[in-house]
């Protein structure tokens, strides 16, 4: 199944299968970060487990576990026969999720730099030059 | 205890996946057939020559026979043949490894799709392996090289301690391969990256890996005793003692035991292959994978309004 780029969850969730962090935790943190960043508002209907699993190429049980964790934290609410909806998110929870996502990004950034044989300064220089070009 | 419970859940899942998708065994059969054809083709010229009484072509290799006294003379004759012989043997060995790796990757990639709730056919599985052809080729080359090195070292080492160390290294290599191939199938990484990833995965799943492997081994043994050995002994006994001298029945009893061992081994090997991908998914996603059951996830599957 192709990713639905109009769906803020499917388009916004970035999963790194090579990161040491379990995929279900990446999903819960990703959804929390999307809510914190106002990309998902209370009442928004999340994709089904199957749709999420297919879009991320993961086991449906993993997607279900992520939803269960979010529901336990009161972030989403599942209504039988209707679907799963965004409920609310504590500010502190949101900040924590964003911090964890940033940490993930930093690790990925470091590993890509190693892969390309670049140091941090060289990479940042490249970004600055790119922005200057624009 | 948790590890054993998780391992048991994964072994059960492996059995269910194989039971519902018996076509997976065909990958192992196809790989066995491919390697047999390859070695058959490589050995046919030798067999044909021997059959026609032509043993002249064997002369350069006669130093393997202890009866030959003039070793120096023979070595001189063998010398020019070493390079082509070695190159041919290496090419055949590599091609054999390539066949095995390709079908294993097809098997593992199919399993990943199945446990992710998708349907896959034998042909589609081959297509998935073909998509990973670069990684498959690299892994086959790497693994064939390591295999040759280990075997060569085995021949050279005569020190007890050195042989034990090599034995441990071989065990480590087998373990690394056990978890690296699912990485190649799922992520298409280069051999060194795949080995590094397999190390990470092993650190997370060592308990489940050992318990799961032992569980499948014990299952194989129990099934063989029940389905292979006991009926074999009964048939043998009936053939010889109970129905008069019915040697056919007795022979069938004797023949059934190794035949059933091969069949059960094939099923066990297939289950172990499924378990390899299940362990990979468990390590990466952090959840014991399950087959998708719509009713159990009813809360989360309602279509959007």
In angstroms, what separates the C-alpha of A95 from chain B's closest C-alpha? 23
How far apart CA A105 and CA A33 sit, in angstroms, is 13
Share above pLDDT 70 across residues of chain B, in percent, rounded to a whole number: 83
Mean pLDDT value across chain B: 85
How far apart CA A89 and CA A44 sit, in angstroms, is 13
Q: So what's the pLDDT on residue B298?
A: 47
Write down the domain spans for chain B. 2-204
Does the beta-carbon distance from B115 to A62 stay under 8 Å? no
- Measured between beta carbons, the chain A residues lying within 8 angstroms of B305 are 45, 82-83
Q: Please state the rounded mean pLDDT for residues B271-282.
A: 94
Residue A133 lies in a domain: no
Of residues A61 and B84, the one with the higher pLDDT is: A61
Q: Which chain B residues touch A if contact means CB-CB below 8 Å?
A: 115-118, 186-187, 197, 200, 281, 284-290, 292, 294, 297-305
In sequence order, the 6+-apart residues with CB closer than 8 A to the CB of A60 are: A49, A50, A53, B116, B117, B290, B292, B297
- Asked if A15 reaches chain B (Cβ–Cβ under 8 Å), the answer is no
- Measured between beta carbons, the chain A residues lying within 8 angstroms of B281 are 59, 62
How far apart CA B53 and CA B56 sit, in angstroms, is 9
Number of Cα atoms under 13 Å in the Cβ half of residue A131: 6
> How do residues A107-125 score in pLDDT, each as one tens digit?
878 877 887 888 878 888 8
Q: So what's the pLDDT on residue B138?
A: 96
Number of Cα atoms under 13 Å in the Cβ half of residue B101: 28
Residue A132 lies in a domain: no
Of residues A112 and B272, the one with the higher pLDDT is: B272
How far apart CA A21 and CA A16 sit, in angstroms, is 8
Residue B66 pLDDT greater than 60, yes or no = no
Q: So what's the pLDDT on residue B95?
A: 94
Tell me how far apart the 2 most distant CA atoms of chain A are, in Å: 53
Structure confidence at residue B237 as a pLDDT band (50, 70, 90)? confident
Structure confidence at residue B268 as a pLDDT band (50, 70, 90)? very high
End-to-end CA distance of chain A: 35
Q: So what's the pLDDT on residue A65?
A: 93
Contact A76, A67 (CB under 8 A): yes
Structure confidence at residue B295 as a pLDDT band (50, 70, 90)? very low
For residue A55, what are its two tokens?
Answer: 């879009």
Residue A134 lies in a domain: no
Query: From B201, which residue of chain A is nearest by alpha-carbon distance?
Result: A20
The three-state DSSP-derived secondary structure of A2-27 is CCCCCCHHHHHCCCCCCCCCCHHHHH
Q: So what's the pLDDT on residue B63?
A: 53
- Measured between beta carbons, the chain A residues lying within 8 angstroms of B184 are none
- Asked if A17 reaches chain B (Cβ–Cβ under 8 Å), the answer is yes
The dihedral sign for the CA sequence A113, A116, A122, A125? negative
> How do residues A42-89 score in pLDDT, each as one tens digit?
888 999 998 999 889 899 999 999 999 999 988 898 888 888 998 877
Does the beta-carbon distance from B286 to A22 stay under 8 Å? yes
The strand pairing partners of A77, in sequence order, are A85
Residue A21 lies in a domain: yes
- Asked if A59 reaches chain B (Cβ–Cβ under 8 Å), the answer is yes
- Asked if A74 reaches chain B (Cβ–Cβ under 8 Å), the answer is no
How far apart CA A87 and CA A45 sit, in angstroms, is 10
Q: How many domains does chain A have?
A: 1
Of residues B213 and A7, the one with the higher pLDDT is: B213
Q: How far is CA A63 from CA A5, A25, A74, B91, B282, in A?
A: 19, 10, 17, 45, 13
Does the beta-carbon distance from B292 to A81 stay under 8 Å? no
CATH number of the structural domain spanning residue A29 = 1.10.10.10
Of residues B21 and B156, the one with the higher pLDDT is: B21
Q: So what's the pLDDT on residue B305?
A: 44
Structure confidence at residue B52 as a pLDDT band (50, 70, 90)? low
Residue A80 lies in a domain: yes
> How do residues B162-173 score in pLDDT, each as one tens digit?
888 888 988 888
Residue A74 lies in a domain: yes
Does the beta-carbon distance from A82 to B302 stay under 8 Å? yes
Does the beta-carbon distance from A54 to B116 stay under 8 Å? yes
Residue B261 pLDDT greater than 90, yes or no = yes
Of residues B78 and B302, the one with the higher pLDDT is: B78
Provide ipTM, 2 decimals: 0.74
Chain centre to alpha carbon of residue B116:
24
Q: Please state the rounded mean pLDDT for residues B201-211.
A: 89
Of the candidates A24, A25, A45, the beta carbon closest to that of B304 is on: A45
Stretch among A21-35, A90-104, B143-157 having the lowest mean pLDDT = A90-104
Of the candidates B285, B302, B304, the beta carbon closest to that of A58 is on: B285
List the single best residue of A61, A77, A85 to mutate versus B (max B Cβ within 10 A). Answer: A61
Does the beta-carbon distance from B286 to A62 stay under 8 Å? yes
Q: So what's the pLDDT on residue B77?
A: 64
Residue B217 pLDDT greater than 60, yes or no = yes
Neighbours of A4 (CB within 10 A): 13
Neighbours of A115 (CB within 10 A): 9
Domain range enclosing A78 = 8-97
Residue B303 pLDDT greater than 50, yes or no = no
Angle at CA of residue A64, ends A59 and A69, nearest 5°: 130
Structure confidence at residue B182 as a pLDDT band (50, 70, 90)? very high
Residue B47 pLDDT greater than 80, yes or no = no
């Amino acid at each position: 199944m192709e990713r639905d780029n109009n769906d803020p969850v499917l388009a916004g969730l970035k999963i790194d299968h090579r990161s040491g962090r379990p995929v279900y935790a990446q999903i819960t943190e990703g959804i929390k970060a999307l809510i914190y960043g106002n990309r998902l508002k209370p009442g928004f209907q999340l994709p089904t487990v199957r749709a999420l699993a297919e879009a991320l190429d993961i086991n449906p049980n993993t997607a279900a576990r992520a939803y269960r964790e979010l529901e336990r934290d009161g972030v989403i609410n599942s209504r039988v026969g209707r679907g799963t909806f965004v409920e609310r998110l504590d500010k502190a929870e949101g900040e924590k999720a964003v911090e964890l996502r940033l940490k993930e990004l930093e690790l990925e950034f470091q590993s890509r730099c190693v892969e390309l044989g670049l140091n941090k300064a060289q990479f940042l220089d490249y970004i600055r030059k790119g922005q200057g070009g624009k | 205890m948790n590890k054993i419970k998780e391992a048991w859940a994964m072994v059960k899942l492996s059995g269910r996946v194989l039971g519902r998708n018996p076509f997976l065994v065909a990958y192992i059969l196809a790989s066995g057939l491919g390697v047999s054809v390859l070695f058959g083709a490589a050995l046919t010229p030798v067999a044909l020559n021997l059959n026609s009484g032509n043993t002249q072509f064997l002369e350069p290799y006669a130093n393997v026979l202890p009866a030959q006294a003039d070793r120096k003379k023979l070595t001189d004759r063998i010398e020019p043949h070493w390079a082509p012989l070695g190159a041919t043997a290496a090419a055949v060995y590599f091609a054999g490894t390539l066949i095995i790796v390709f079908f294993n990757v097809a098997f593992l990639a199919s399993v990943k799709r199945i446990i992710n709730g998708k349907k896959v056919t034998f042909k589609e599985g081959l297509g998935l392996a073909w998509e990973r052809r670069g990684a498959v080729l690299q892994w086959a080359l790497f693994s064939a090289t390591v295999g040759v090195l280990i075997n060569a070292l085995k021949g050279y080492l005569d020190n007890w301690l050195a042989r034990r160390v090599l034995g441990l290294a071989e065990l480590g290599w087998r373990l690394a391969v056990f978890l690296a191939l699912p990485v190649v199938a799922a992520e298409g990484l280069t051999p060194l990256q795949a080995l590094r990833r397999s190390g990470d995965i092993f650190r997370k799943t060592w308990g489940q890996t050992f318990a799961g492997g032992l569980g499948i081994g014990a299952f194989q043994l129990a099934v063989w005793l029940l389905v292979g050995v006991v009926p074999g002994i009964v048939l043998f006994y009936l053939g010889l003692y109970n129905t008069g001298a019915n040697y056919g029945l007795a022979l069938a009893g004797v023949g059934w035991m190794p035949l059933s061992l091969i069949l059960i081994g094939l099923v066990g090997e297939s289950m172990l292959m499924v378990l390899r991908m299940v362990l990979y998914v468990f390590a990466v996603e952090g959840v014991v994978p399950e087959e998708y059951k719509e009713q159990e996830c009813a809360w989360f599957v309602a279509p959007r309004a």
